[in-house]
Structure 1
Amino acid sequence: MKIIINYLKPHFNRMIVGFVIKFGGTLMDLLLPWILAYIIDEVVPQNNINKVLLWGVAMFFCALFAVLGNIIANRMAAGVAKDATRVLRNDLFEKITSLSFNQMDSFTEASLISRMTSDTYNIHNVIGRMQRLGVRAPILLIGGIALTMTLDPILSLILVASLPLLGVVVFFVSKKGIPLYIEQQSMADLLVRKVRESITGIRVIKALSKTNYEEKQFEKINANVVSKEKKAAIVMAITNPVMNFLLNMGWVLIIIVGASRVNVGLTKPGTIIAFLTYFTIILNAMLSITNLFVLFSKATASANRIEQVLNTCEDLKQVTNVYVDSDTGSYKDSDANRNEYADANSYKDSQVPYRIEFDHVSFSYNKNYYSIEDVSFTLKKGQTLGIIGATGSGKTTIINLLMRFYDVDSGVIKIDGKDIRKYSHDEFYQKFGAVFQNDTLFEDTIYENINLGRELSDKQVEKAAEYAQILDHIKLMKNGFGADVSIKGANLSGGQKQRILIARALAKSPQILILDDSSSALDYKTDATLRNDIKKNFVDTTTIIVAQRVSSVMNSDIIIVVDEGKLVGKGTHEELLLTCQEYREISNLQLGK
């Protein structure tokens, strides 16, 4: 639970004040039975009504102070829980957004969503309850035992004898419960993933009449979640009946022993009444502590899952010394045994020969087989590269490596003569404008979807929309650039979504423009006009177009053909028609030549 303590440190002063108020209010609760016993045993026999009323007023003010103190302390506890969890969520979100694609794949999106929601809720819950019941219950327990010792030490021994048994029950049940809650949260991750997949693919599910199939799949996962929850709940539920049994057995013994002691004159009736009241207080305190252990078990499991994310080391660090290992071909970030530097720091901008350079690059997602292997090409400033190939051939992988979403297994990628690992993240990503496959539009206005918090001017946003061939459509919409966009652009056509995404990529005049299958929903005329406008108005921008259509890449300065992760062709459209059979087949099939 170290993570919870770290986030509570800034609130320790507030917590201490709350603890003091809670402590005072709880002491007032403990005084009430003692005063009652004193009234019955000492004041009532004196037949003095004024003293009875006086002590009654004292009981009233104790009760009032207890109520007000608990209300104030509980509100302060809720405030601490809210503020600490808010900071935790912010830090967790920030960490998630900094994870590399490889780390995201490892955690899975569903698991990260679950950690952001249900796990942080469990921690919020335990922080609030710990400050309320975690202070009150131990004081009631210890204070109640202490006061019963002053009333009748013999009866108190019966109570004290049951406490070790209760402690053993709580310890072993909690030890068993924490792993079960971890399993439960893992199953909840699967449930979240299934819900996300089903909602995202709802059109396909309905179109193929697979609703019943998806319902059965969901029911299977849901049943597993319920099974894990039930198992954890059954184990943790053992504590309440066992503790009730032990404490109630103690209560029976106290009544039997107490009655016999009253009968022989060793104890007074008021003392027995107070003792039974304290026993009830102690019973409730023990049950509260038991519930806290259940919450603590859940929160511990959740804290461990959150800590896994927060303690994840940065995967794609900026490195200062990079060299190529002559034996493996991979590049390292240490000076030890350096054979060859992988970048040229002495280059000035005017001397850099290439804007982009892939030098014998290989990469594998699963480290079993290469997704791309020994890929090499160069691209000068202002040139356009077209990448074409079959689905799954490695086209998008090349883009992922160029934008350093993953690090290569071997080889080197340079931008402006400098190894991409030597750029700071901010400097590096300022160079790019990109439109990816299945890219995202956010629930906001068209303007903000293009601007995306980059503080662009209205002119920049409008010009970008014009170049993306969407400006006229936006002007026809109600509210223009202020028109609302639904989640994932559900209220827009496929072509409108793609052109808004392209406008977003163009808006800041990037040095490198990535268009990954970004014109699949555009007609040929709009696609051709778009490419001509980009070539005309972004002459210094190096453009990479990933496409399935030959018409989208045929006018590129360089075209590379990718097949099963390898470059099988490189050149212009005319050169590839003569030298690359795969390209020629694609071209003949699409263009009918």
Structure 2
Amino acid sequence: MTQKQLSVVKKLLTFIHPYKKYIIFIFISALLSVSFSLITPILIGNAIDYVIEPGRVDYKSILQILLYLAVSIAISSVFQWFMSYNSTKLTSLTISDLRSETFKKLNFVPLKFIDTNSHGNLINCVVNDIDQISDGLLQGFTQLFSGVVTILGTLIFMINVNFKIALIVVLLTPLSFFVASFISKRTYHKMREQAQIRGELSGYIEEILGNEKTVKAFGYEKKAILNFEEINQRLYDCGSKAQFYSSLTNPCTRFVNGVVYACVGIFGAINAVNGNLSIGQLSCFLSYANQYTKPFNEISGVFTELQSAVASASRIFSIIESESEISDEGLLSDIQSQGEIKIDHVNFSYVPDIPLIEDFNLQVQKGQRVAIVGPTGCGKTTFINLLMRFYDVNSGKIMIDNTDIRSMKRSTLRKQFGMVLQESWLFNGTIFENIAYGKSDATMDEVIEASKAAHSHSFIKRLPDGYDTIISEDGNISQGQKQLLCIARIMLTKPPVLILDEATSNIDTRTEIKIQKAFLELMNGRTSFIVAHRLSTIKESDIILVMDKGKIIEQGSHEELLEQNGFYSNLYNSQFAVS
């Protein structure tokens, strides 16, 4: 193994360590199972020696040996089962911890990590790569322990039977190691490349299936198939080479084992002819030679799984060891904001060399409604990301009630905000559970009240099971209805600060008017940030921020900005221009 592979194995062992008792059980079971199985050739050899010549057979002694043989096989089988049971238990517990740790990590990585990695690839890691590790561990531990014990046990028995023939077997053994080592180096690299391409393929499938309507709307099916086939072909080519290298292992080691067996047979026969070895002992020795070489075949056969498991483990540990969000341990947690927000000389960029928000300054009083408008890419959503600390500012400060948000725990900060996004999100569960997502102790009466405020109660009542109706992410309700449920979710929590990012974009005009009224009631006394493209929806805002290229270029009320006859005025009047 390379240094990198050994490093991955060591990390994997840290997850196995808590369950080391199962390793002890596996080792003891392997030792006893193999020990009793190794008695079998001796008993068979003795039975052969009791067949002295035609007409002279010691049946009594043979029957006694057959009894011992039955007991030996039975005990060996019981411990073989016990070894497999403990190996399965060890693997299941280890994989469960590894999967939990990976998923836990994904919940604590910075949002940048999720944004810059293919979601399908991450899903592939959590599901397929961990399954690959499971297969490698399950086969590896069972066959590794039994194989090592078998090799050592048969070697000891062979030395006791005939030291010289045993020495021949030992001298020829390194050939198997050399063959396995030569092939495994090439197998590992191909297995790792195969895992990466498999992740790429999963990401592409997730992307296409998640946007199937768009694919069909633009007639992209043939192009999608061609792209899929290109990735699939690369996976096929890589997989074929990986399987070719791995498939060489077993026949090559079998060839070496055949050479060993032939040498044992020839030298054993010579010794038997010279009277140094009985026929029963020769039979016993040939059985041991076969048993000695068999573990090399099994271990080399499982080597492909181990190589693939190590390659998959390296991908998993790249997630687990990725940079986490800066710890907020010890930061402020007991804060109830009044909604006063100050942004002081903030600078931020996603890419270091490409500035986005520069020298951003803003003062928002409690209860003010602030609308943010501007062309696409001007920094509106980025501003929201900074407010919520999905990303941290490069320099400057964002303060709530004169408290720097970086001195607050993220969970505490985010409780001060209620956010409704343009893209609604619901999970697989009941409507009640989805609305109560931000307030787990909410009562049914509270949920119904929030739903009425969001004008979603009427359509919920018409569903088969009302608030107990189970919906999924892609769901059995319309996009507009989904958004109403997301709005009801915020109506329920009643946070001191609201963020509405195109919150009514998927709702019909009549319902939107009702929702706007509900929002006006909800926003009463609360600080609100409204991101909108339809300028008619923000005319009542106290402050309208006009952003362009990450900067506030205009600021004021709707009437004040129109009087300035600047960027906002042109943007607003363009709605009524006749093309």
TM-score interval w.r.t. the shorter chain? over 0.9
Match of 2:345 in 1: 360
For the residue of structure 2 that corresponds to 1:433, the secondary structure is: strand
Q: Choose from 520, 538, 543 the match for 2:528.
A: 543
Q: Choose from 9, 12, 15 the match for 1:4.
A: 12
For the residue of structure 2 that corresponds to 1:487, the secondary structure is: coil
Match of 2:42 in 1: 34
Q: Give CA-to-partner distance per residue, 1:375-429, whole Å, 9 cap, x none.
A: 2212222222111122222211111111111111222111221111111122122
CA distance in 2, matches of 1:450, 1:127: 42
Letter in 1 for 2:173: L
Runs of 4+ displaced beyond 6 Å? none
CA separation of 1:481/1:367 partners in 2, compared to 1, >3 Å: closer, same or farther? same
For the residue of structure 2 that corresponds to 1:238, the secondary structure is: helix
Match of 1:60 in 2: 70
Q: Give CA-to-partner distance per residue, 1:274-312, whole Å, 9 cap, x none.
A: 222222222321011113332222222222222222222
Match of 2:85 in 1: 75
1:474 aligns with 2:474: no
Q: Choose from 277, 292, 295 the match for 1:267.
A: 277
1:128 aligns with 2:113: no
Letter in 1 for 2:466: G
CA separation of 1:84/1:270 partners in 2, compared to 1, >3 Å: closer, same or farther? same
> TM-score when scaled to structure 1?
0.90
Instruction: Please say if residues 319 and 421 of structure 1, whose CA atoms lie closer than 8 Å, have aligned partners that are also in contact.
Output: no
Instruction: Give the 5 Å matches for 1:38-437.
Output: 38-41=46-49, 47-318=57-328, 355-437=340-422
> TM-score when scaled to structure 2?
0.92
1:464 aligns with 2:450: yes
Q: Give CA-to-partner distance per residue, 1:410-457, whole Å, 9 cap, x none.
A: 221112211111111221222222122323211221111111272322
Residue 460 of structure 1 deviates from its aligned partner by 2.3
| Overall identity of the aligned pairs, in % | 28
Residue 120 of structure 1 deviates from its aligned partner by 1.0
Q: Choose from 23, 31, 38 the match for 1:23.
A: 31
Letter in 2 for 1:464: A
CA distance in 2, matches of 1:80, 1:167: 28
Residue 212 of structure 1 deviates from its aligned partner by 0.9
Q: Give CA-to-partner distance per residue, 1:124-156, whole Å, 9 cap, x none.
A: 222222331121111111211221222222222
Q: Give CA-to-partner distance per residue, 1:304-340, whole Å, 9 cap, x none.
A: 222222222323333889xxxxxxxxxxxxxxxxxxx
For the residue of structure 2 that corresponds to 1:39, the secondary structure is: helix
Instruction: Please say if residues 126 and 299 of structure 1, whose CA atoms lie closer than 8 Å, have aligned partners that are also in contact.
Output: yes
CA distance in 2, matches of 1:376, 1:466: 38
For the residue of structure 2 that corresponds to 1:590, the secondary structure is: coil
Instruction: Please say if residues 443 and 484 of structure 1, whose CA atoms lie closer than 8 Å, have aligned partners that are also in contact.
Output: yes
CA distance in 1, matches of 2:553, 2:299: 69
Instruction: Please say if residues 568 and 580 of structure 1, whose CA atoms lie closer than 8 Å, have aligned partners that are also in contact.
Output: no
Comparing 76-85 and 214-223, the one that deviates more: 76-85
Letter in 2 for 1:234: F
Instruction: Please say if residues 382 and 541 of structure 1, whose CA atoms lie closer than 8 Å, have aligned partners that are also in contact.
Output: yes
Residue 215 of structure 1 deviates from its aligned partner by 0.3
Letter in 1 for 2:32: G
Instruction: Please say if residues 26 and 142 of structure 2, whose CA atoms lie closer than 8 Å, have aligned partners that are also in contact.
Output: no
Q: Give CA-to-partner distance per residue, 1:204-255, whole Å, 9 cap, x none.
A: 1112221111000000011111222222222233322221111112222222
Residue 486 of structure 1 deviates from its aligned partner by 2.7
Instruction: Please say if residues 50 and 61 of structure 2, whose CA atoms lie closer than 8 Å, have aligned partners that are also in contact.
Output: no
Instruction: Please say if residues 134 and 292 of structure 1, whose CA atoms lie closer than 8 Å, have aligned partners that are also in contact.
Output: no
Instruction: Please say if residues 115 and 306 of structure 1, whose CA atoms lie closer than 8 Å, have aligned partners that are also in contact.
Output: yes
Instruction: Please say if residues 387 and 559 of structure 1, whose CA atoms lie closer than 8 Å, have aligned partners that are also in contact.
Output: yes
Q: Give CA-to-partner distance per residue, 1:478-521, whole Å, 9 cap, x none.
A: 211111213333x2212111111111223211122221122111
Match of 1:455 in 2: 441
Residue 592 of structure 1 deviates from its aligned partner by 6.2
CA distance in 2, matches of 1:349, 1:477: 38
Letter in 2 for 1:150: N
CA separation of 1:320/1:262 partners in 2, compared to 1, >3 Å: closer, same or farther? closer
CA separation of 1:420/1:551 partners in 2, compared to 1, >3 Å: closer, same or farther? same
Instruction: Please say if residues 50 and 58 of structure 2, whose CA atoms lie closer than 8 Å, have aligned partners that are also in contact.
Output: no
Instruction: Please say if residues 260 and 289 of structure 2, whose CA atoms lie closer than 8 Å, have aligned partners that are also in contact.
Output: no
Instruction: Please say if residues 434 and 514 of structure 1, whose CA atoms lie closer than 8 Å, have aligned partners that are also in contact.
Output: yes
CA distance in 2, matches of 1:235, 1:13: 35
CA distance in 2, matches of 1:460, 1:99: 34
CA separation of 1:167/1:349 partners in 2, compared to 1, >3 Å: closer, same or farther? closer
Q: Give CA-to-partner distance per residue, 1:530-563, whole Å, 9 cap, x none.
A: 2322222443332211111112222111111222
Match of 1:334 in 2: none
Residue 525 of structure 1 deviates from its aligned partner by 3.2
Instruction: Please say if residues 343 and 399 of structure 2, whose CA atoms lie closer than 8 Å, have aligned partners that are also in contact.
Output: yes
1:502 aligns with 2:487: yes
CA distance in 1, matches of 2:369, 2:31: 72
CA distance in 1, matches of 2:474, 2:177: 53
CA separation of 1:129/1:536 partners in 2, compared to 1, >3 Å: closer, same or farther? same
Match of 1:330 in 2: none
Residue 349 of structure 1 deviates from its aligned partner by 7.7
Unaligned 5+ runs, structure 2: 1-8
Q: Pairwise CA RMSD of aligned residues?
A: 2.3
Q: Choose from 532, 540, 544 the match for 1:559.
A: 544
Match of 1:337 in 2: none
CA distance in 1, matches of 2:407, 2:301: 52
Letter in 1 for 2:545: I
For the residue of structure 1 that corresponds to 2:474, the secondary structure is: helix
The alignment covers a number of residue pairs equal to: 565
Instruction: Please say if residues 440 and 488 of structure 1, whose CA atoms lie closer than 8 Å, have aligned partners that are also in contact.
Output: no
CA distance in 2, matches of 1:298, 1:176: 12
Instruction: Please say if residues 184 and 229 of structure 1, whose CA atoms lie closer than 8 Å, have aligned partners that are also in contact.
Output: yes
Unaligned 5+ runs, structure 1: 322-344
Q: Choose from 553, 567, 570 the match for 1:582.
A: 567
Letter in 1 for 2:77: V
Match of 2:553 in 1: 568
Match of 2:5 in 1: none
Match of 2:4 in 1: none
CA distance in 1, matches of 2:336, 2:272: 99
